[in-house]
Structure 1
Amino acid sequence: MEDVKAYEKILATFEKSHPKIDVEFKPFQATEYNTILATGLSGSAGPDVAQLRAYGGLQPLVEAGRLVPLDGRVEALSGFDAKLLEGAKGHKDGRIYGVPFAYQTLQVLYDKRLFGDNGIQPPATWDDMIAAAGRLKAAGITPFAVAAGPDATWTLPIVHEIFGNARYGSARFRDALLSGAKKFTDPDFTASITLLKDLEPCFPKDVVAVKIPDVQALFATGKAAMYPTGSFDLAPVLAANPSLEVGAFQVPPSTPGRPTRPRRSNWSGGWRRRSSGGSTRASSSSCPRSPGSRRRTRCWPRWRRTTPPTARRTHCSSTSGTASRTATRSSGTRCRRC
């Protein structure tokens, strides 16, 4: 709920310039949002405009006919790069159901002071990163701030993407998977999961019980040196410790010859108008060794987490008679929100 005040300010400005439109703003927790929204859109009590998860998260509502296609309805869509609109399209009909509002990256954030105090430089190779993690752990510092508690399991694909995308083949694997040429049992993909399991000793103790606010606090207070996450997490971390000096690096590939590049988060969201129709290995206790008329508009944004990201920006568009209403909203390597 961290963006409530920002939205109140944004919507007050919007309503001032659109006096015939009254926006009723109602936020929800991320863990509750999907169910609440699906229920709301199936009846008459749901929102006119809502923020949704993109890609696969969008499809059930599209297929149920709960959303209005925006092709030809929102002129600004013509100014977006086609790649940015992929997450807002229906898989079957290829039509656009949302307007992108942010483009963010996934990487490892690091505490510059802890790195300096322990003689560590941002890693240029996988071996460098593992060696740095081992040195930090020996100094009593948690190397990587990772949460895997019940409320944080959705972040694990993000962590996997940050550490494993170069190992499994990134976009090449995705394209091969979609074409049927490869499966999730492909050796490179399973190796990327093993890679993550091998890093578990570098994560907080009892990681499966750790919550997102816990890891944000670990990093903000200097108890963890690295935080694999999206740029959306900078806001809550810096709000907790404004003096924290934060750097960032892309994880070097674990396999020589496989390039690593900034990742775009696959977590997406955006404002969409509703339709009028209703092999893991046992981990050791130490970090792994390196391998080689006035109308009331109901507006529902979704919230990624309880102590979440930076403000997300969104675009809300619908029409009431001759008056169109627009609202903006704020939001991580595959993180395009649409």
Structure 2
Amino acid sequence: MQQHKKKPIVAVLAAVLAGAALTSLAPLASAGTLTIESWRTDDKALWEEVLIPAFAKSHPGITVKFSPTAPPEYDSALSSRLIAGTAGDLVTCRPFDVSLDLYKKGRLEKLNDLPGLQKNFSDAAKVAWQTDDGKDSYCVPMASVIHGFFYNKKIFAELGLKPPKTEAEFFGALDKIKAAGKVAPLALGTADQWESHQIVFTSIGANYWHGEEGRKALIAGTKKFTDPEFVDTWATMAKWAPYLPKGYQAETYGDSQNLFASGKAAIYPTGSWDISYFQANGAGLDFGAFPPPVRKAGDACYISDHTDIGMGINAASKNKADAKVFLEWLASPEFAELYTNKVTGFFSLSNSKPKVQNAVAAEMLSWRNQCKSTIRLNAQIMNRGKPPMENEMWTVDSQVLNGKMTPKDAAERIQSGFAKWYKK
């Protein structure tokens, strides 16, 4: 944190008033301008035309400016600005280690005393922006993305299919689509690799390792990746190969999107962020969504409801009082409903349960009422080895889908790498 050696009297008085304002967020907040740091360049119009004006209606004395940086440069540019003392007052937070590292370095303000954060969010919603022991919070959760499957309603109707609820029904539907021979059963490729892990493994696997129960057991050391529930997930993935498009090993994420958008594939494993893409690019495409099928009828269901974006306060901000007022609004039901409906497929993590206008988004959000939520398996703590588990998972999962690695070998490789550095 940089400090000036001399401060004019006006500045000193302003600092005193700002400090006093911390004890009463809304009534005593000082007037001024807040700058938001973010990597969401596509959201600039949303913030400037919708979100900031909505905040201004009830907080006319506080000016807010949205100042995004291109996603690839955001982390390094933000770090440089924080070190130099030129960063904005509010910092859009990536989940887990990137933001945790900033907090450990004293760059983000502790938010344990923020009423809205404590009142309006569950422990699971807050975990992406807390210390490993859960004692300190440093960002307010904004939204998550939910994983599942999109399906072409026209193709399903022509074949007399219904959204599958169990794995037997899922593979039965794939068999029927394949037998018809008109379209690819699944729109998925392995060229980019990340989809095989972030979209497939951590999504269908949640039903195998029972979501948070299995994830936390790996961190606690009471479970290993070589245990049946993890090996069985890879085994199920391996069964997908016959239903993937011809030449899927060279198919990119964009290719898969185009295949489904053009009506040439019946089912698309995906995340909720893709809703807006297909609404914009799927001319004539009528699609719905279903959650990862459970292993057998009667099983409890689990969904990957992954924490994606939050916001914290620059610890060196000179206007923390107003910044806290803004974060209180960010934690409110008003913001939850606005953001969920304006950024389709990104769901507020608030307990307020906003009403969703988009039909597919509403369907995916309703899964929270039917299933237990979990985050991506290795997102917390487990990526800290070298190479990161995330990178290893991309390789392993895509190779299982490609038929180049057995489920057992995949499990042993991941467990071996994890055991080399992580001691519980």
Q: Calculate the TM-score normalised by the size of structure 1.
A: 0.73
- Of residues 121, 142, 149 in structure 1, which corresponds to 2:184? 142
Structure 1 residue 115: Cα displacement: 0.9
Counterpart position of 1:190? 231
- Of residues 113, 116, 123 in structure 2, which corresponds to 1:82? 123
Counterpart position of 2:22? none
Counterpart position of 2:63? 21
CA contact (8 A) 2:212 2:375 kept: no
Which residue identity does 1:185 align to in structure 2?
Answer: T
In the alignment, structure 1 residue 109 sits paired with structure 2 residue 109? no
Structure 1 residue 166: Cα displacement: 1.9
Counterpart position of 1:245? 286
Structure 1 residue 259: Cα displacement: 2.1
Structure 1 residue 270: Cα displacement: 0.9
Counterpart position of 1:276? 316
TM-aligned CA distance change 1:208 to 1:28, over 3 Å: farther
Counterpart position of 2:31? none
User: Which stretch shifts more, 245-254 or 110-119?
Assistant: 245-254
Structure 1 residue 23: Cα displacement: 0.5
TM-aligned CA distance change 1:257 to 1:169, over 3 Å: farther
User: Which stretch shifts more, 10-19 or 137-146?
Assistant: 10-19
CA contact (8 A) 2:186 2:245 kept: yes
Which structure dedicates a bigger proportion of its chain to strand? 1
TM-aligned CA distance change 1:47 to 1:210, over 3 Å: farther
Separation (CA, whole Å) in 1 of partners of 2:302 and 2:121 = 20
TM-aligned CA distance change 1:137 to 1:53, over 3 Å: farther
In the alignment, structure 1 residue 266 sits paired with structure 2 residue 309? no
Counterpart position of 2:132? 91
Separation (CA, whole Å) in 1 of partners of 2:166 and 2:66 = 50
Counterpart position of 2:141? 100
- Of residues 184, 195, 219 in structure 1, which corresponds to 2:260? 219
Separation (CA, whole Å) in 1 of partners of 2:311 and 2:256 = 29
Separation (CA, whole Å) in 1 of partners of 2:306 and 2:191 = 20
Aligned 1:4-83 pairs, distance under 5 A: 4-10=44-50, 13=53, 14=55, 18=60, 20-29=62-71, 32-73=73-114, 75-83=116-124
Separation (CA, whole Å) in 2 of partners of 1:205 and 1:42 = 50
Counterpart position of 1:170? 211
TM-aligned CA distance change 1:2 to 1:217, over 3 Å: farther
In the alignment, structure 1 residue 3 sits paired with structure 2 residue 64? no
- Local SS of the residue matching 1:72: coil
Q: Calculate the TM-score normalised by the size of structure 2.
A: 0.59
Which residue identity does 1:102 align to in structure 2?
Answer: A
Separation (CA, whole Å) in 2 of partners of 1:22 and 1:140 = 53
Separation (CA, whole Å) in 2 of partners of 1:171 and 1:75 = 24
Separation (CA, whole Å) in 2 of partners of 1:206 and 1:191 = 25
Counterpart position of 1:129? 170
Structure 2 residue runs without a partner (length 5+): 1-40, 348-372, 377-424
User: Which stretch shifts more, 232-241 or 319-328?
Assistant: 319-328
CA contact (8 A) 1:115 1:225 kept: yes
Which structure dedicates a bigger proportion of its chain to helix? 2
- Local SS of the residue matching 2:321: strand
CA contact (8 A) 1:133 1:143 kept: yes
Separation (CA, whole Å) in 1 of partners of 2:323 and 2:204 = 50
Which residue identity does 2:321 align to in structure 1?
Answer: T
Separation (CA, whole Å) in 1 of partners of 2:244 and 2:167 = 17
Which residue identity does 2:45 align to in structure 1?
Answer: K
Which residue identity does 2:185 align to in structure 1?
Answer: P
Larger radius of gyration: 2
CA contact (8 A) 2:48 2:66 kept: no
Separation (CA, whole Å) in 2 of partners of 1:169 and 1:200 = 25
Separation (CA, whole Å) in 1 of partners of 2:105 and 2:134 = 13
- Of residues 185, 193, 202 in structure 1, which corresponds to 2:243? 202
Separation (CA, whole Å) in 2 of partners of 1:118 and 1:204 = 19
Structure 1 residue 249: Cα displacement: 1.8
TM-aligned CA distance change 1:28 to 1:136, over 3 Å: farther
- Identity, in percent, stands at 25
Counterpart position of 1:118? 159
Structure 1 residue 210: Cα displacement: 3.6
TM-aligned CA distance change 1:334 to 1:27, over 3 Å: farther
Separation (CA, whole Å) in 2 of partners of 1:120 and 1:143 = 12
In the alignment, structure 1 residue 319 sits paired with structure 2 residue 321? yes
Counterpart position of 1:235? 276
User: Which stretch shifts more, 57-66 or 205-214?
Assistant: 205-214
TM-aligned CA distance change 1:145 to 1:2, over 3 Å: farther
- Local SS of the residue matching 2:285: coil
Counterpart position of 2:361? none
CA contact (8 A) 1:137 1:202 kept: yes
Separation (CA, whole Å) in 2 of partners of 1:335 and 1:224 = 28
TM-aligned CA distance change 1:57 to 1:229, over 3 Å: farther
Structure 1 residue 217: Cα displacement: 2.3
Instruction: Compute the RMSD of aligned alpha carbons.
Output: 3.4
Separation (CA, whole Å) in 2 of partners of 1:198 and 1:169 = 21
